[in-house]
Structure 1
Amino acid sequence: MVNDAAAASGRLAAAWAVLGSVLDPEVPALSVRDLGIVRDVLDHGDALEIVLTPTYSGCPATEVIEHDVLAAIAAAGLGPARVTMRRAPAWTTDWISTEGRRKLTEYGIAPPGPVAADAAAPIRIVGRRADVVACPRCHSLCTERLSAFGSTACKAMYRCLSCREPFEHFKPI
């Protein structure tokens, strides 16, 4: 007789491993696990429930991520599965894994620092001092913000004054 708890535990571990291979469509250097948007994986016996928290409520990649997660779980033979979106508490860049931060740097995006203690305050774009951000290529701190906005709402454009390369910075939120 197979131990049901051990089988469920193995299925959950396999699901977490599969989710580590599902790439974020906007930053394909990171998996959805690296990004910290996978909140939980629950085994209900008849189906797995994958609990996700989008990076922000209007994220245009949410549907693609849900599709890719379900497709990966099915391809691994772990289905059936469903996705539940949990929007509270809101996602924060503090949830990006250490491995994810390393991968961002290798990809050429400066990872976010820790969220400020006053994180409950509204984000202000105008009049807000730009963070000191290390260049992901040469690691110089001699950088300047070119724009508060990058290719996605969660990134800003910077330029390194040492190596002269432009780069994006994943904003801490």
Structure 2
Amino acid sequence: MSELDRRRAWQVAAAVPDPEIPVVTVADLGILRDVRIENGVAVAQVTPTYIGCPATLAIELAVEAALRDAGFEARVERVMSPPWTTDWITEEGREKLRAYGIAPPVQGGNSTRALFGETAAPCPRCGSDDTERVSEFGSTPCKALYRCRACKEPFDYFKCL
């Protein structure tokens, strides 16, 4: 198979939506690490957002199914090292999260301040920095629930990992 096939396989895999946040793709989140053609098989490498992510298997199966639906023999490899970080979310992915009403994580997600919850999360609706964390857990374990004091709206904040 050619480089053209590899690029097509990448595009197919990259378009798979996240099952928990369908406005972003696995490429937007940065969890699609690589797609290569190996002995005629499209091999997609995927890194889970965290070890216990309940969507990991669903994502891997969706990537494999998308590649097969596009005519490829396919296999997905789970890659654990280096571990995923929210810094891998693309700028386009961050904008998609914001437009969907989820505050994207701050850059430098592996900083001590971000890891211990000292993160200011700007409101994705009005842009105000006058927000407060209501709960460490939002609609999924990877998000925290915040409230904007300016517009009074609640919103999820995608935690830094």
Give the corresponding residue for 1:86: 79
Tell me which structure has the larger Cα radius of gyration: 1
Task: Return structure 1 stretches of 4+ with deviation > 2 angstroms.
Answer: 115-119
How far does residue 19 in structure 1 lie from its aligned partner after superposition? 2.0
| 1:89-140 CA distance string (max 9 Å, x none) | 1100000011000000011000001125645x9x54xxx53x1111101111
Calculate the TM-score normalised by the size of structure 2: 0.93
**Comparing 96-105 and 58-67, the one that deviates more:** 58-67
1:160 aligns with 2:153: no
- Which residue of 1, 4, 13 maps to 2:7? 13
Aligned residues: 160
Counterparts of 1:116 and 1:73 in 2: how far apart (Å)? Answer: 31
SS of the aligned residue for 1:144 comes to strand
Counterparts of 1:20 and 1:107 in 2: how far apart (Å)? Answer: 19
Give the corresponding residue for 2:16: 22
Counterparts of 1:41 and 1:102 in 2: how far apart (Å)? Answer: 25
Counterparts of 2:37 and 2:60 in 1: how far apart (Å)? Answer: 17
Give the corresponding residue for 2:125: 137
1:54 aligns with 2:54: no
1:32 aligns with 2:26: yes
Counterparts of 2:69 and 2:109 in 1: how far apart (Å)? Answer: 40
| 1:10-69 CA distance string (max 9 Å, x none) | 111111211232100111111001010011111113201101100011111111111110
- Which residue of 76, 91, 104 maps to 1:98? 91
Q: Answer yes or no: is the 8 Å Cα contact 1:19–1:31 preserved in 2.
A: no
Counterparts of 1:43 and 1:114 in 2: how far apart (Å)? Answer: 33
SS of the aligned residue for 1:84 comes to strand
Give the corresponding residue for 2:63: 69
Calculate the TM-score normalised by the size of structure 1: 0.87
Q: Answer yes or no: is the 8 Å Cα contact 2:110–2:160 preserved in 1.
A: no
Q: Answer yes or no: is the 8 Å Cα contact 2:14–2:32 preserved in 1.
A: no
Counterparts of 1:102 and 1:116 in 2: how far apart (Å)? Answer: 17
C-alpha RMSD of the superposition: 1.6
Gaps of 5+ in 2: none
